[in-house]
Structure 1
Amino acid sequence: MKYLIFGANVTGQTFFENYLNKIEIVGVVDREIKKYSKHFEGIGCWSNMTEVPSNILENINVILVASSSIKQSESIKFMLQRIVENLNINVVSIFEIDFYADFMSTLSRESRVTFFKEKKGDITYRLDYDDLNKDSIVIDLGGYMGQWTSDIYSKYNANVFVFEPIPEYCEFIKKRFEKNPKIKVYECGLADRQYISKIYLNEDATTTFGDIDSPYYNVELIEYSNFMKTNNLNTIDLIKINIEGGEFDLLDSIIKNDDVKNFKHIQVQFHDFVPNSDIRRENIRQELKKTHKLTYNYDFVWENWSLKS
């Protein structure tokens, strides 16, 4: 089998490095290949498909799409299929490089964060929802200073429920949006059940898994299902979850109670300081796959799941 990589970005580079001696990679195509060619020594480098020599094109079995976005990969695959048909070459298959298994797992968390920032993920991936509008219901869990709420509201004019249990942060958010009736702010958190929890402070982060010697607050966490019933919220168009370790119990409960289909989009940051975080995250992901599709993924940074149509 002969493989051609389409995309010379970091995903393509990492795949090439990992699989160079395992499969036969004949070349790479990228419109900015001059910038990246040094990473692909020993194979052909071309800026577009029409530059690939005919004797190589005729023998390609698989085209690997190197993309950091599953959504982007799908559009590239469609485009490549048309190109393959027009060039009249017999390619067995076109598929995206498995972003989770073949790329993200090779990077440290620091590198994943850097890569996410390079992609301007906070203003692209995390705000990009084609079906949100002025009637949408959005929940922001872990409001902090309210910037994500501000961005999502500005883009869609949506109705936003913000939860921030730390008094100082919550007060700041309340003042920030006090003249906006479409943004409601609550000094508590949402959880799998109602209880009082210790929230430890660590600079701009908070967590329920802190050092016992760290400063902390006793904060109220309310059961998500009771909140939804009280406010007549049958469907949540988007929920953003950044609750410093509490995401595991919350999502486990949402899935167990069969409420997951009531959430159209789930944007979540998992945290690896939680015991057995890898196993727990993977179990949740396997359950989410039954009802939702992954639209982007940066392990333990940000990922998004959208309800299947």
Structure 2
Amino acid sequence: MDSNDYLYAGITIQNMAHKGVAVAVFMVFCFVLYNTRNLMKEKFFDFKEATTPTAVKFPTCKLPENLFRNEQMSTIRKPNLTQVVSVLNNTKRNKCIDKVKWNHASDFSYFNIPSFHFCVKSNIHPEKVRQFHYERLVITGNYNIISSFFSFLKRKSEVIIIEIGGYIGQTLRKLIPVTGAKHYVVIEPVPTFYKTLNKNIRTLNFNTSVKTYNFGLSRNHKELVVGVVGDATHMLKKSNLKTTEKVQLVGVLDFFIQLGVGCHRIDLLTINCEGCEFEVLETLISTNLIEKFDFIQFQPHYFAPNIGNFLCRYCSLRQLLARTHELVYDFPLVWEAWKRKH
């Protein structure tokens, strides 16, 4: 074999190698395209049983086209909550209700499907997930993250914080000195806790305007009976517990509009309300009010009653929230915080 034969053989091998790479790339492309096409065909996910000994059946989850499509045909009504005062004195008389709009009804895109799918699979055992991340929270020394994370707010002036589910004031007691908040609004629906909350606030020596309200939040006004079990008190339509109290719930939009949120940016919305976080956040997301909150932190409650399929609802909520905010810390099913995108 002369030098020309060797050269020809080398070129032939090189061409075959190039063809092999091209074929491999083409096969990978077809595989990705095939799987993407299958995902795009389906809006229902029927997760099959795992093959491990501890296999569980995954739930069937439907990606909502939009949670508020029917409501968007109505107008934003003027709130009827005369007991609620504006968070700042310079709020317009009409509470900027003319600036509050329904968000455009946009469907979930197919790019949301993989992360939604991953969220459902990751939280299939919520009690174990919560326990793991609670221990992680403690081990990493972040036990006070719901207050310590926001210490940078102290560099700002006129910091505004709204707390949903004040209980007897533990979060308020930590957040105010850490953030230097000048305006703090807190609601607590259970009358017994509300009285203790106000009593505890009177013992604090903070240079902060604190306003408290004795009601909870829901999509609509209603009255419920709650079973009182400390900071795990649930909102129930009926309760078998011996210790119960009646609570008043007011509309989410009515409350935030009456506060004047349409006129102002809120530095932090913190929510720990044993399940009401879904109706609060979903309703805010249905309007442009969601864009008024620079930071939102909340505790998801998988064990709260009357929330339906927790996994599907929780993972859908994260997809919706990601449209306007991005995660800044995440201890799944314990506490998580989101920052408004600029």
Q: Of the candidates 157, 179, 187, which is equivalent to residue 156 of structure 1?
A: 179
Partner amino acid for 2:298?
V
1:84 paired residue number: none
| CA pair 161-232 structure 1, distance change in 2 beyond 3 A | same
Q: Do the aligned partners of 1:293 and 1:306 also contact (CA within 8 Å) in 2?
A: yes
Q: Does 1:176 align with 2:200?
A: yes
- The number of equivalent residue pairs is 211
Q: Of the candidates 137, 143, 166, which is equivalent to residue 160 of structure 2?
A: 137
In the superposition, the TM-score normalised over structure 1's length comes to 0.61
Partner amino acid for 1:162?
V
Q: Distance in 1 between matches of 2:218 and 2:138?
A: 29
Q: Distance in 2 between matches of 1:282 and 1:257?
A: 19
Q: Deviations over 1:112-144 (max 9, x none)?
A: 222222233342354312345341110111111
Q: Distance in 2 between matches of 1:249 and 1:105?
A: 22
Q: Of the candidates 283, 288, 295, which is equivalent to residue 258 of structure 1?
A: 288
Q: Distance in 1 between matches of 2:231 and 2:257?
A: 32
Bigger share in strand:
1
Runs of 4+ in 1 over 6 A off after TM superposition: 99-106
Stretches of structure 1 lacking an aligned partner (at least 5 in a row): 1-98
Q: Distance in 2 between matches of 1:190 and 1:237?
A: 20
In the superposition, the TM-score normalised over structure 2's length comes to 0.56
Q: Does 1:147 align with 2:170?
A: yes
Q: Distance in 2 between matches of 1:285 and 1:200?
A: 29
Greater RCO (Cα-Cα under 8 Å, separation 6 or more): 2
Over the aligned positions, Cα root-mean-square deviation in angstroms equals 2.6
Q: Of the candidates 291, 295, 299, which is equivalent to residue 269 of structure 1?
A: 299
Task: Measure how far apart 1:229 and its partner are.
Answer: 2.9
Give the match's secondary structure for 1:237: strand
2:37 paired residue number: none
Q: Do the aligned partners of 1:190 and 1:224 also contact (CA within 8 Å) in 2?
A: yes
2:212 paired residue number: 185
Give the match's secondary structure for 1:259: helix
Partner amino acid for 1:236?
I
1:46 paired residue number: none
Q: Distance in 2 between matches of 1:100 and 1:117?
A: 23
Task: Measure how far apart 1:160 and its partner are.
Answer: 0.9
Q: Distance in 2 between matches of 1:168 and 1:204?
A: 12
Q: Of the candidates 135, 138, 141, which is equivalent to residue 120 of structure 1?
A: 141
Q: Deviations over 1:13-56 (max 9, x none)?
A: xxxxxxxxxxxxxxxxxxxxxxxxxxxxxxxxxxxxxxxxxxxx
Give the match's secondary structure for 1:202: coil
Q: Do the aligned partners of 1:141 and 1:163 also contact (CA within 8 Å) in 2?
A: yes
Kindly, what percent of the aligned residue pairs are identical?
27
Q: Does 1:244 align with 2:274?
A: yes
